[in-house]
A and B are shown apart, each in its own frame.
Chain A
Amino acid sequence: MVADDTQLLARLLAGEQKAFKELVTTYQSAMRAVAYAIVGQRHVEEVVQDAWLSVVRHIGSFEGRSSLKTWLLTITANSAKGRYRQNRREVLLDDLPSPHGTIDDDRFSPGDGHWLVAPFAWHQDTPEALLTENELRECLEHTLLSLSELQSSVLLLRERQGLELEDICNLLEISLSNVRVLLHRARLKVFATVEHFEETGEC
């Protein structure tokens, strides 16, 4: 078991409120992202609530074969699947238009595949410097909301929660190649948003 997990687990088993607070603060947003991917925005909160109840009920039998995080996310995915599985076949690779487009074929010469419009050099070279612009932050939020539920969940699980691609496949029950496609499309749209902002100074 991961060392951090062992200590936290002992406190959870003892029913310590602060330990539960730590658990909720650390993992609830990842749980929400998993639920969002499977059931969509409308049922996220119910699924996450269900998942928490299930976590408390089963914490006594957690054996540490996976990390606490993986265990929590698996419970969340199961709660989501049990209640409201969407018809995923239709939505799986839906690619919705994004506010600032993407890096698509138009950016390249049809002849030799070189950049027609080279990537614009951003003014900032650290995340902190980029994020000091409130407007860019809002602009990014806006683009994330424009992605399909599955695309944005996969992106958030990877970039914010640091999940491995295999874990994302297992939790969401989608193939590795689909995860790769979803991730790539989402990233190019977010890239296009930052580029647009850096180039024009507006959203």
Chain B
Amino acid sequence: MLTCKEQVARSSDYLDGQLSFREKLMVRHHLMFCRNCRRFIRQMRLMQATLKAMPEKPEEGVDALAERLAQQRRKDRS
């Protein structure tokens, strides 16, 4: 059986689907019996979702850039 420390060390690979079948089972098995590690993994997922949901700084100068690119494209075309 994995220790909590070993589970944490494998957590990113677990979340990214990078573990072998056997290692994945070992992590699942540990999680089944360990409340703390279940919480850890749940909160890792929540952290991932939070990073994804963080508002991005609005891009500056988008209109000017788009105008320049579109002009260039029309020039290249003709």
CB under 8 Å from chain A, chain B span 1-33: 3-6, 8-9, 11-13, 16, 18
B66 / chain A contacts, CB cutoff of 8 Å? 17-18, 20-21, 23-24
A1 and B65 alpha carbons, distance in the complex (Å): 26
B71 / chain A contacts, CB cutoff of 8 Å? 15
Pairwise interchain contact A105-B69, C-beta atoms closer than 8 A: no
Say yes or no: A57-B76 contact (C-beta < 8 A), given A25-B59, A191-B43. yes
CB under 8 Å from chain A, chain B span 62-76: 62-63, 65-67, 69-74, 76
Count A-B pairs with CB separation below 8 Å. 135
Distance in angstroms from A141 CB to nearest chain B CB is 8
Which among B39, B54, B74 has the greatest number of chain A C-beta atoms within 10 A? B54
Say yes or no: A191-B5 contact (C-beta < 8 A), given A56-B69, A131-B54, A165-B16. no
A78 and B12 alpha carbons, distance in the complex (Å): 28
Pairwise interchain contact B59-A24, C-beta atoms closer than 8 A: yes
Q: Mark B41-78, 1 if CB is under 8 A from A, else 0.
A: 00110111111111110010011011101111110110
- Residue A180 lies at the interface, judged by CB distance under 8 Å to chain B: yes
A20 and B69 alpha carbons, distance in the complex (Å): 7
Pairwise interchain contact B73-A13, C-beta atoms closer than 8 A: yes
Stretch in contact with the other chain, from A65-73, A86-94, A108-116: A108-116
B65 / chain A contacts, CB cutoff of 8 Å? 20, 24, 52
- Residue A118 lies at the interface, judged by CB distance under 8 Å to chain B: yes
Pairwise interchain contact B39-A119, C-beta atoms closer than 8 A: yes
- Residue A121 lies at the interface, judged by CB distance under 8 Å to chain B: yes
A190 / chain B contacts, CB cutoff of 8 Å? 47, 51
Distance in angstroms from A32 CB to nearest chain B CB is 9
Interface size class of A (residues with CB under 8 A): 35 or more
A52 touches which one: B8, B12, B37, B69 (CB < 8 A)? B69
A17 and B48 alpha carbons, distance in the complex (Å): 34
Q: Enumerate chain A interface residues (CB-CB to B < 8 A).
A: 12-13, 15-21, 23-25, 28-29, 52-53, 55-57, 59-60, 103, 105, 107-108, 112-115, 118-119, 121-122, 125-128, 130-131, 137, 140, 155-156, 158-160, 162, 165, 180, 183-184, 187-188, 190-191, 194-195
6 nearest A-B residue pairs (beta carbon):
A113-B3, A15-B74, A184-B12, A21-B66, A127-B53, A17-B70
Would you mind naming 24 contact pairs between A and B with Cβ atoms under 8 Å apart?
Answer: A15-B71, A16-B70, A17-B70, A21-B62, A23-B66, A24-B59, A28-B59, A53-B72, A103-B8, A108-B4, A108-B8, A113-B3, A114-B4, A119-B40, A126-B49, A137-B54, A140-B50, A158-B16, A160-B54, A165-B16, A184-B11, A187-B12, A187-B47, A194-B50
